[in-house]
Structure 1
Amino acid sequence: MDDRVRRHAEILVDHCTDVSADDNVLVRAPTAAADLVEALYERLGERGARPTTEWRHRRAARAYRRALDAEDVRTADHRLAAMAETDVVILIKGGENAAEGSDVDPEKSAAASRAKRPILEERLDTRWVITQHPTPADAQRAELSTRAWEDFVYDAVDRDWDAQRRFQSRLVDVLEPAETVRIVSGDDTDLRLSVDGMGAFNDAGEDNMPGGEVATVPVVDSAEGRIAFDLPVTRNGREIRGGRLTFEDGEVVDHAAERNEAVLTALLETDDGARRLGELGIGMNRGIDEFTDNLLFDEKMGDTVHVALGDAMAECVPDDRELNESAVHADMLVDVSERSRIEVDSEVVQENGTFVFE
């Protein structure tokens, strides 16, 4: 086994989730990530924890959803009960076919998202992390060789996360007292948000590995303007390309896409909260310096901004403020490396990808 796989497991268990002997641990992984699961079990055994694995099989999931009637979609109570007894969740990405599930009815996928919401809510109460195991399929999506993709993933994961946190704290200090944020990029993006009273989250590789962003939550009815997305958004195996959204009073009032617009429509129609924003994220990881068509990495780049439709990051919303709730949380990314700026309370904090404090 590649030593970097064991190092990846060590980071997930020690840095991201701080597993102890008292913890029930769920590892959810595709079969292509068997090496990382094996390394995790070694590390979890050293800690004395109690792990179990839920294997993801996209072909089986596709077959099930295609056969299932939409009215029969419901919450899996046994999974919900198991999640309620779980302390730590390690979610591993790694595909064999990124388009698996692309021929599933989007309405069924939306119904499945709604049915999974109680399980998601239980999972968010655990110590959880999402990460990536490098596979040839994802290397192909990134237009890299398998070896180059492995190097890219492990270089992004094995970093000085304490130093990254200190760097990102400078933007946290700007956002926490802020009232407004404006994002301008090219001719198609000019979005204004209120973040008045909201907290700022410093992601230094706990919930996401790799980490490398600072995030906050827009006031639920505040989004005004338009935004165009530079990278595709993949939902259930379908790529939404050239997506555009127009907001009024915090809600999407118009949308379009160059490819798979129907998938974007189905996403927005999942529930009432799916038309509102639950996150504004600003990438700050300078160790990620190229797009790979993989949002877990691309959204952390220092030249990117992303907003998420749907469920809000609860840790940024005070108890006395409205929390946008939805069965979806769909990140969408804007390249801000050229003809772009981010303004906070009318002051430019980043221009053409460079922060004023860099």
Structure 2
Amino acid sequence: MTYEEKVKKYAELVVKVGLNIQQGQKLMISADIDAIDFVRAVTKAAYDKGAVDVIQKLTDGPSSQLKYEYAPVETFTEVHDYQKAEIDQHLTERVAHLRIYSQSPELLKDADPDKIAANATAIGELNKDFARAVGRFDFSWCIVAFPNIAWAELVFPELKGEEARMKLLDAMIAAVRADQPDPIKAWEEHNSNLNSRAQLLTEKGFDRLHYKSERTDVEIGLNQRHIWMGASAVNADGVEIQVNMPTEEVFTSPDFRRVNGVIGNTRPLSYNSAIIDDFKLTFKDGSVVDFEAGKGYEVLKNMLATDDGAKRLGEIALVPDDSPISNSGILYYNTLFDENASCHVALGRSFPGALQNGKELSKEELEAYGLNQSLIHVDFMIGGPDLSIEGIHEDGSKEFIFKDGNWVI
């Protein structure tokens, strides 16, 4: 395929499978200007599918760097009424949302960690109602990526410029199955496999899981009413959507109160365009009581200080080491891709849909069941070829879910 054909095919897959745009729907696209080719292709595909309005919210990486360099820290704490009003209107109208990652994961590596923390807190506060609606799948939403040169050169340091960007684009297209003869059918089969795996785990009804590897030794409790979820979701209008492309995971939200032990990362974490790596978190009775980091210590420290929920788990996700992105050998430095090469967990906000009737419960009721509440939701990777996971039943009996990094059930 030519570059134009690749971009068009990728865009059509996102619109038809990821967002599953319906006749008469509105769509908001948030992206960096480096992804403008893809933004235009998605816009065209959305109108072709029946969208009545496609709204574009574009940012510019270098301009963001200038803001972090020159603007005072107080600027990053500001939340404006017009921003809240826009979110409220979008929630009322159930506007579909597409987020396109395209900037380098190291865009803000030299930025003041205090400004990064202030911005993260302000954005979290601004988006708290939006984030809750996201977790309930009140509307269609999807997260994808499109490469820029700086990101591509980080992933493929032996290449430069457009050569690197095209190689990263090809890798992304393969990861989302857009390179296959019938991508839509490929996703139907993929969804079926992951959803079947999720149903099996739900039926197992484990009380807790024990993770063990060279970097991790932790026990994570599960609620009696927990539900494992697969690749696709169904929004409030009964429309099936694909919220992450790519995805290889089945996931649930744990009982955050019952987490004890040590969890260490196995891939770098890009948080607000700054890298955190070689870190470990020690949990006691559900909260982080100690931590260390070889890189990005201050960024990690500030992230954990966002609120009480930032020190607790909101998600656990299972991904075999023998998965397409892992087998590609590519380190993307981006959670959207790297989390689908490895088992991962998330600090922060849980998913109401991971609990029976959870979408109908208030934040207070969810927390009473052990589902964490927070302004953040940050996934990081903990899997690898040496990870084992045992499922433990209430009576103490055990069975392996993972051995040597892969499924055994």
1:99-248 aligned at under 5 Å gives the runs: 99-100=107-108, 102-104=110-112, 105=114, 106-118=116-128, 119-124=130-135, 125-143=138-156, 145-157=164-176, 158=178, 159=183, 160-176=186-202, 177-186=205-214, 188-196=215-223, 197-204=225-232, 206-248=242-284
Distance 1:217 1:267 in 2: 20
The CA distance in 1 between the partners of 2:28 and 2:18, in whole Å, is 14
Q: Which runs of no fewer than 5 residues in structure 1 stay unpaired?
A: none
Amino acid in the other structure paired with 1:154 = I
- Residue 261 (structure 1) aligns with: 297
Corresponding residue for residue 57 of structure 1:
60
Check the 8 A contact 1:102/1:236 in 2, yes or no: no
* SS at 2:47 equivalent: helix
2:400 to 326, 348, 357: 348
Query: Which structure: greater helix fraction?
Result: 2
Equivalent residue for 1:36, pick from 38, 41, 66: 38
Separation of aligned partners in 2, 1:336 and 1:96: 25
Identity level (%): 24
Which residue is 2:102 aligned to?
94
Aligned AA for 1:57? D
Runs of 4+ in 1 over 6 A off after TM superposition: none
Aligned length: 353
Maintained 8 Å contact 2:313/2:345: yes
CA-to-aligned-CA distance 1:220-275 (integer Å, 9 cap, x gap): 20111001112121222221111110111111111111122111111111011101
Q: TM-score, normalised by structure 2?
A: 0.80
Question: Residues 311 and 324 of structure 1 are in contact (CA less than 8 Å); yes or no, is this contact kept in structure 2?
Answer: yes
Structure 1 counterpart of 2:5: 3
Residues 272, 208 of structure 1: CA spacing in aligned structure 2 closer, same or farther, 3 A cutoff?
same
Q: Provide closer, same or farther for how the CA distance between residues 201 and 43 of structure 1 changes in structure 2, counting only shifts above 3 A.
A: same
**Stretch deviating more after TM superposition (255-264 or 316-325):** 316-325
CA distance, structure 1, for counterparts of residue 84 and residue 195 of structure 2: 40
> Structure 2 CA distance, aligned partners of 1:250 and 1:111?
22
SS in 1 for 2:381: strand
Q: Output one character per residue of 1:82-101: Cα deviation in whole Å (capped at 9) or x when no partner.
A: 43234210110101573236
Q: CA RMSD in A?
A: 2.2
The answer as to whether partners of 1:201 and 1:214 remain within 8 angstroms in 2 is yes
Q: What stretches of structure 2 of length at least 5 have no aligned partner? A: 158-163, 233-240, 359-364, 393-397
Amino acid at match of 1:335: G
- Residues 70, 111 of structure 1: 8 Å contact kept: no
C-alpha distance in structure 1 between counterparts of 2:316 and 2:390, whole Å: 13
Question: Residue 77 of structure 1: which of 84, 94, 103 is its match?
Answer: 84
Instruction: Report the Cα distance in structure 2 between the residues aligned to 1:129 and 1:280, rounded to whole angstroms.
Output: 20
The answer to whether the Cα contact below 8 Å between 2:314 and 2:351 also exists between their aligned partners in 1 is: yes
Looking at structure 2, the residues matched to 330 and 151 of structure 1 have their Cα atoms a distance apart, in angstroms, of 27
**Paired letter, 1:81:** D
* Counterparts of 2:5 and 2:155, CA distance in 1: 23
For normalisation by structure 1, the TM-score amounts to 0.91
Pair 1:108–1:59, CA change in 2 (3 A): farther
1: CA distance between counterparts of 2:344 and 2:143?
17
Query: CA 1:112–1:3 in structure 2 vs 1: closer, same or farther (change >3 Å)?
Result: same
Structure 1 residues 219, 342: CA separation in 2 closer, same or farther (over 3 Å shift)? same
Distance 2:351 2:133 in 1: 14
In structure 1, C-alpha distance between the alignment counterparts of 2:17 and 2:191, rounded to whole Å: 13
The question of whether the paired residues in 2 share the 8 Å contact of 1:217 and 1:278 is answered with yes
Determine the C-alpha separation between the residues in 2 that align with 1:107 and 1:92: 22
CA separation in 2, counterparts of 1:96 and 1:246? Answer: 30
Aligned counterparts of 1:202 and 1:307: Cα–Cα separation in 2: 15
State the distance in 2 between where 1:37 and 1:191 align.
42
**Residues of 2 paired with 1:162 and 1:270: CA distance?**
38
String of CA shifts for 1:41-98, please: whole Å, max 9, x gaps: 1111212311110112233344445335168522532432343234210110101573
Could you report, residue by residue, the CA deviation over 1:148-169 in whole angstroms, capped at 9, with x for unpaired residues?
2121110111251222223323
Measure, in 2, the Cα distance between the counterparts of 1:173 and 1:33: 37
Answering whether residue 344 of structure 2 is matched by residue 306 of structure 1, we say yes
1:270 maps to amino acid: T
The aligned amino acid for 2:373 is: E
Match of 1:297 in 2: 337
